[in-house]
Structure 1
Amino acid sequence: MEPIRLATCTYQEFAPHMGIPVRTTAGHPRFSLPYQLAGHARLITPTRELLKINARDAYEFSYRRLLNGNGLENIRRELATIAAASGSDGPLVLLCFDRFDKLRPPNDWCHRRMAAAYWTELTGEEVPELGAKPMSDQTPPPTLFDF
Protein backbone atom coordinates (compact mmCIF):
# COMPACT_ATOMS: atom_id res chain seq x y z
CA MET A 1 0.00 0.00 0.00
CA GLU A 2 1.26 3.47 -0.90
CA PRO A 3 2.34 5.62 2.08
CA ILE A 4 0.01 8.39 3.20
CA ARG A 5 1.81 11.64 3.88
CA LEU A 6 0.72 13.15 7.19
CA ALA A 7 1.57 16.27 9.16
CA THR A 8 0.02 17.94 12.20
CA CYS A 9 -0.90 21.52 13.07
CA THR A 10 -3.50 23.65 14.83
CA TYR A 11 -6.62 25.01 13.25
CA GLN A 12 -5.31 28.49 14.05
CA GLU A 13 -1.86 28.05 12.48
CA PHE A 14 -2.87 26.03 9.42
CA ALA A 15 -2.66 27.65 5.98
CA PRO A 16 -3.84 25.98 2.74
CA HIS A 17 -0.31 25.78 1.28
CA MET A 18 0.56 23.29 4.07
CA GLY A 19 -1.67 20.52 2.72
CA ILE A 20 -5.14 19.07 3.18
CA PRO A 21 -6.83 20.16 6.44
CA VAL A 22 -8.39 17.28 8.39
CA ARG A 23 -10.37 17.59 11.61
CA THR A 24 -9.31 15.28 14.46
CA THR A 25 -11.27 16.91 17.28
CA ALA A 26 -14.44 15.78 19.03
CA GLY A 27 -15.97 19.20 18.46
CA HIS A 28 -15.99 21.59 15.54
CA PRO A 29 -13.98 24.81 15.86
CA ARG A 30 -16.06 27.49 17.52
CA PHE A 31 -14.52 30.12 15.28
CA SER A 32 -14.72 30.56 11.55
CA LEU A 33 -11.97 28.99 9.48
CA PRO A 34 -10.51 30.76 6.43
CA TYR A 35 -10.35 27.35 4.69
CA GLN A 36 -12.63 24.36 4.25
CA LEU A 37 -11.92 21.09 6.04
CA ALA A 38 -11.43 18.11 3.73
CA GLY A 39 -12.87 15.65 6.22
CA HIS A 40 -13.01 14.32 9.76
CA ALA A 41 -10.63 11.54 10.80
CA ARG A 42 -13.07 9.93 13.21
CA LEU A 43 -10.88 6.91 13.98
CA ILE A 44 -8.16 9.09 15.51
CA THR A 45 -10.52 11.57 17.18
CA PRO A 46 -10.45 11.21 20.96
CA THR A 47 -13.74 10.47 22.68
CA ARG A 48 -15.36 13.02 24.97
CA GLU A 49 -14.53 10.67 27.89
CA LEU A 50 -10.86 10.80 26.95
CA LEU A 51 -10.94 14.58 26.99
CA LYS A 52 -11.75 14.48 30.71
CA ILE A 53 -8.36 12.89 31.49
CA ASN A 54 -5.78 15.49 32.51
CA ALA A 55 -2.78 13.27 33.26
CA ARG A 56 -0.61 12.71 30.20
CA ASP A 57 0.30 9.08 30.96
CA ALA A 58 -3.30 8.05 31.62
CA TYR A 59 -4.51 9.94 28.55
CA GLU A 60 -1.87 8.44 26.28
CA PHE A 61 -2.55 4.91 27.56
CA SER A 62 -6.29 5.30 26.90
CA TYR A 63 -5.81 7.07 23.57
CA ARG A 64 -3.44 4.36 22.29
CA ARG A 65 -5.97 1.76 23.36
CA LEU A 66 -8.53 3.61 21.21
CA LEU A 67 -6.13 3.72 18.24
CA ASN A 68 -5.23 0.05 18.61
CA GLY A 69 -8.90 -0.87 18.87
CA ASN A 70 -9.67 1.02 15.66
CA GLY A 71 -6.70 -0.63 13.95
CA LEU A 72 -3.96 0.83 11.80
CA GLU A 73 -5.41 -0.52 8.54
CA ASN A 74 -8.84 0.96 9.26
CA ILE A 75 -7.23 4.29 10.16
CA ARG A 76 -5.14 4.14 6.97
CA ARG A 77 -8.27 3.43 4.87
CA GLU A 78 -10.14 6.33 6.42
CA LEU A 79 -7.23 8.72 5.80
CA ALA A 80 -6.75 7.44 2.23
CA THR A 81 -10.46 8.05 1.56
CA ILE A 82 -10.17 11.64 2.80
CA ALA A 83 -7.03 12.17 0.70
CA ALA A 84 -8.65 10.77 -2.44
CA ALA A 85 -11.82 12.85 -1.99
CA SER A 86 -9.77 16.03 -1.60
CA GLY A 87 -8.34 15.75 -5.11
CA SER A 88 -5.02 17.12 -3.86
CA ASP A 89 -1.64 15.44 -3.58
CA GLY A 90 -0.55 17.40 -0.50
CA PRO A 91 -0.12 15.82 2.91
CA LEU A 92 -3.12 15.34 5.16
CA VAL A 93 -2.68 17.81 8.01
CA LEU A 94 -4.25 16.50 11.21
CA LEU A 95 -5.68 19.49 13.06
CA CYS A 96 -6.55 20.21 16.67
CA PHE A 97 -6.76 23.25 18.93
CA ASP A 98 -3.64 22.95 21.14
CA ARG A 99 -0.95 25.53 20.32
CA PHE A 100 2.35 24.21 21.61
CA ASP A 101 3.94 27.66 21.73
CA LYS A 102 1.33 28.62 24.35
CA LEU A 103 1.73 25.49 26.51
CA ARG A 104 4.47 24.92 29.04
CA PRO A 105 5.72 21.57 30.34
CA PRO A 106 4.32 19.28 31.61
CA ASN A 107 1.16 20.25 29.66
CA ASP A 108 2.72 20.67 26.20
CA TRP A 109 1.09 17.58 24.68
CA CYS A 110 -2.03 16.70 22.75
CA HIS A 111 -3.62 13.83 20.87
CA ARG A 112 -2.39 14.92 17.42
CA ARG A 113 1.23 14.43 18.46
CA MET A 114 0.34 11.11 20.10
CA ALA A 115 -1.39 10.04 16.88
CA ALA A 116 1.71 11.11 14.94
CA ALA A 117 3.98 9.07 17.22
CA TYR A 118 1.67 6.05 16.92
CA TRP A 119 1.68 6.35 13.10
CA THR A 120 5.47 6.68 12.95
CA GLU A 121 6.03 3.72 15.28
CA LEU A 122 3.80 1.41 13.24
CA THR A 123 4.58 2.59 9.71
CA GLY A 124 8.05 4.16 9.95
CA GLU A 125 6.61 7.24 8.19
CA GLU A 126 7.54 10.56 9.84
CA VAL A 127 4.74 12.99 10.71
CA PRO A 128 6.09 16.54 11.05
CA GLU A 129 4.51 19.24 13.23
CA LEU A 130 3.80 22.34 11.13
CA GLY A 131 2.72 24.61 13.98
CA ALA A 132 4.86 26.55 16.39
CA LYS A 133 7.25 24.57 18.54
CA PRO A 134 6.51 23.91 22.22
CA MET A 135 7.85 26.39 24.74
CA SER A 136 10.19 23.65 26.00
CA ASP A 137 11.76 23.37 22.49
CA GLN A 138 12.29 27.09 22.02
CA THR A 139 15.49 28.87 22.85
CA PRO A 140 14.91 31.12 25.85
CA PRO A 141 15.30 34.85 25.26
CA PRO A 142 18.72 36.27 26.15
CA THR A 143 19.21 37.78 29.58
CA LEU A 144 21.25 40.88 30.42
CA PHE A 145 24.18 38.63 31.27
CA ASP A 146 24.23 37.01 27.80
CA PHE A 147 25.45 40.16 26.03
Structure 2
Amino acid sequence: MTEQIRLATCTYQEFAPDMGTPVRTTVGHPRFPLSYQLGGIARSVTPTRHLLKIEAEDAYEFSYRRLLNDRGVDLIREELTAIAGANDLDVPVVLLCFDKLSKPGNWCHRTHFAKWWTDQTGEEVPELGAVPVPAPPTPPALFEF
Protein backbone atom coordinates (compact mmCIF):
# COMPACT_ATOMS: atom_id res chain seq x y z
CA MET A 1 0.00 0.00 0.00
CA THR A 2 1.22 3.48 -0.86
CA GLU A 3 1.81 5.80 2.05
CA GLN A 4 -0.60 8.75 1.94
CA ILE A 5 0.69 12.21 2.72
CA ARG A 6 -1.40 15.30 3.33
CA LEU A 7 -0.51 18.09 0.93
CA ALA A 8 -1.73 21.65 0.48
CA THR A 9 -0.53 24.72 -1.42
CA CYS A 10 -0.19 28.41 -0.59
CA THR A 11 1.97 31.49 -1.20
CA TYR A 12 4.91 32.39 1.01
CA GLN A 13 3.10 35.64 1.80
CA GLU A 14 -0.23 34.05 2.84
CA PHE A 15 1.19 31.10 4.76
CA ALA A 16 0.71 30.93 8.55
CA PRO A 17 2.45 28.33 10.75
CA ASP A 18 -0.86 26.78 11.86
CA MET A 19 -1.46 25.65 8.24
CA GLY A 20 1.23 22.95 8.33
CA THR A 21 4.87 22.46 7.39
CA PRO A 22 6.02 25.18 4.94
CA VAL A 23 8.01 23.78 2.02
CA ARG A 24 9.77 25.70 -0.73
CA THR A 25 8.96 24.65 -4.30
CA THR A 26 10.46 27.63 -6.10
CA VAL A 27 13.63 27.87 -8.17
CA GLY A 28 14.77 30.86 -6.11
CA HIS A 29 14.71 31.70 -2.44
CA PRO A 30 12.19 34.24 -1.16
CA ARG A 31 13.65 37.73 -1.53
CA PHE A 32 11.91 38.91 1.61
CA PRO A 33 12.19 37.78 5.23
CA LEU A 34 9.85 34.99 6.31
CA SER A 35 8.24 35.04 9.74
CA TYR A 36 8.54 31.25 9.89
CA GLN A 37 11.17 28.57 9.28
CA LEU A 38 10.89 26.44 6.13
CA GLY A 39 10.54 22.71 6.75
CA GLY A 40 12.35 21.74 3.56
CA ILE A 41 12.70 22.15 -0.18
CA ALA A 42 10.68 19.92 -2.52
CA ARG A 43 13.11 19.74 -5.42
CA SER A 44 11.06 17.06 -7.17
CA VAL A 45 8.17 19.49 -7.76
CA THR A 46 10.32 22.58 -8.42
CA PRO A 47 10.03 23.74 -12.04
CA THR A 48 13.17 24.25 -14.10
CA ARG A 49 14.45 27.70 -15.06
CA HIS A 50 13.53 26.83 -18.66
CA LEU A 51 9.87 26.37 -17.65
CA LEU A 52 9.82 29.79 -16.01
CA LYS A 53 10.29 31.36 -19.45
CA ILE A 54 7.02 29.90 -20.77
CA GLU A 55 4.27 32.52 -20.55
CA ALA A 56 1.28 30.68 -22.03
CA GLU A 57 -0.42 28.73 -19.26
CA ASP A 58 -1.43 25.74 -21.41
CA ALA A 59 2.11 25.33 -22.80
CA TYR A 60 3.54 25.68 -19.30
CA GLU A 61 1.16 23.11 -17.85
CA PHE A 62 1.95 20.64 -20.65
CA SER A 63 5.71 20.99 -20.08
CA TYR A 64 5.45 20.95 -16.29
CA ARG A 65 3.27 17.81 -16.32
CA ARG A 66 5.86 16.15 -18.57
CA LEU A 67 8.54 17.05 -16.01
CA LEU A 68 6.43 15.65 -13.14
CA ASN A 69 5.71 12.46 -15.11
CA ASP A 70 9.43 12.01 -15.77
CA ARG A 71 10.19 12.41 -12.06
CA GLY A 72 7.29 10.13 -11.14
CA VAL A 73 4.74 9.92 -8.35
CA ASP A 74 6.82 7.49 -6.31
CA LEU A 75 9.93 9.71 -6.20
CA ILE A 76 7.84 12.80 -5.45
CA ARG A 77 5.89 11.01 -2.70
CA GLU A 78 9.15 9.71 -1.21
CA GLU A 79 10.66 13.20 -1.04
CA LEU A 80 7.51 14.81 0.41
CA THR A 81 7.07 11.99 2.94
CA ALA A 82 10.69 12.46 4.07
CA ILE A 83 10.07 16.18 4.56
CA ALA A 84 6.90 15.44 6.55
CA GLY A 85 8.76 12.84 8.64
CA ALA A 86 11.52 15.31 9.46
CA ASN A 87 8.91 17.77 10.71
CA ASP A 88 5.38 16.90 11.87
CA LEU A 89 3.54 14.00 10.24
CA ASP A 90 0.22 15.16 11.68
CA VAL A 91 0.03 18.37 9.64
CA PRO A 92 -0.05 18.96 5.88
CA VAL A 93 3.08 19.61 3.88
CA VAL A 94 2.30 23.03 2.39
CA LEU A 95 3.95 23.62 -0.98
CA LEU A 96 4.81 27.29 -1.29
CA CYS A 97 5.46 29.67 -4.18
CA PHE A 98 5.23 33.40 -4.86
CA ASP A 99 2.22 33.82 -7.17
CA LYS A 100 -0.91 35.13 -5.52
CA LEU A 101 -3.99 33.56 -7.07
CA SER A 102 -6.17 36.50 -5.99
CA LYS A 103 -4.77 38.47 -8.95
CA PRO A 104 -7.25 37.91 -11.82
CA GLY A 105 -5.98 35.35 -14.29
CA ASN A 106 -2.90 34.51 -12.22
CA TRP A 107 -1.71 30.88 -12.10
CA CYS A 108 1.39 29.08 -10.97
CA HIS A 109 3.10 25.72 -10.86
CA ARG A 110 1.58 24.82 -7.50
CA THR A 111 -1.95 24.79 -8.98
CA HIS A 112 -0.76 22.62 -11.86
CA PHE A 113 1.04 20.32 -9.43
CA ALA A 114 -2.14 19.99 -7.33
CA LYS A 115 -4.19 18.99 -10.40
CA TRP A 116 -1.51 16.56 -11.56
CA TRP A 117 -1.20 14.98 -8.09
CA THR A 118 -4.96 14.51 -7.85
CA ASP A 119 -5.06 13.00 -11.35
CA GLN A 120 -2.25 10.57 -10.46
CA THR A 121 -3.23 9.61 -6.92
CA GLY A 122 -6.86 10.62 -6.36
CA GLU A 123 -5.65 12.66 -3.35
CA GLU A 124 -6.91 16.25 -3.20
CA VAL A 125 -4.45 19.12 -2.64
CA PRO A 126 -6.31 22.14 -1.23
CA GLU A 127 -5.17 25.73 -1.81
CA LEU A 128 -4.83 27.50 1.56
CA GLY A 129 -4.29 30.99 0.16
CA ALA A 130 -6.67 33.19 -1.74
CA VAL A 131 -9.07 31.47 -4.09
CA PRO A 132 -8.14 31.77 -7.77
CA VAL A 133 -9.88 34.61 -9.57
CA PRO A 134 -10.71 33.99 -13.24
CA ALA A 135 -9.29 36.38 -15.81
CA PRO A 136 -11.79 38.94 -17.10
CA PRO A 137 -13.39 37.92 -20.40
CA THR A 138 -11.78 39.24 -23.54
CA PRO A 139 -14.12 41.63 -25.34
CA PRO A 140 -15.32 40.35 -28.71
CA ALA A 141 -13.39 41.56 -31.72
CA LEU A 142 -15.03 44.26 -33.77
CA PHE A 143 -15.26 43.54 -37.45
CA GLU A 144 -15.14 46.30 -40.02
CA PHE A 145 -16.94 45.87 -43.30
TM-score relative to the length of structure 2: 0.89
- What's the counterpart of residue 118 of structure 2? 120
Q: Within 2, Cα distance between the matches of 1:45 and 1:133? A: 22
Q: How far is the alpha carbon of 1:89 from its aligned partner?
A: 1.4
Are the counterparts in 2 of residues 7 and 93 from structure 1 also a CA contact under 8 Å? yes
- What's the counterpart of residue 87 of structure 2? 86
Q: Identify, as 1 or 2, the structure richer in helix.
A: 1
Are the counterparts in 1 of residues 118 and 125 from structure 2 also a CA contact under 8 Å? yes
TM-score relative to the length of structure 1: 0.88
- What's the counterpart of residue 143 of structure 2? none
Q: How many residues align?
A: 134
Q: Within 2, Cα distance between the matches of 1:136 and 1:57? A: 15
Q: How far is the alpha carbon of 1:88 from its aligned partner?
A: 4.2
Q: How far is the alpha carbon of 1:37 from its aligned partner?
A: 0.5
Per-residue CA distance 1:99-129 (angstroms, 9 max, x = gap): 011x222xx2110010000110111111100
Regions of 4+ moved over 6 Å: none
Per-residue CA distance 1:54-82 (angstroms, 9 max, x = gap): 00111011101110010110000000000
Which structure 1 residue ranges, 5 or more long, are not aligned?
A: 138-147
- What's the counterpart of residue 59 of structure 2? 58
Are the counterparts in 2 of residues 20 and 88 from structure 1 also a CA contact under 8 Å? no
RMSD across aligned positions (CA): 1.2
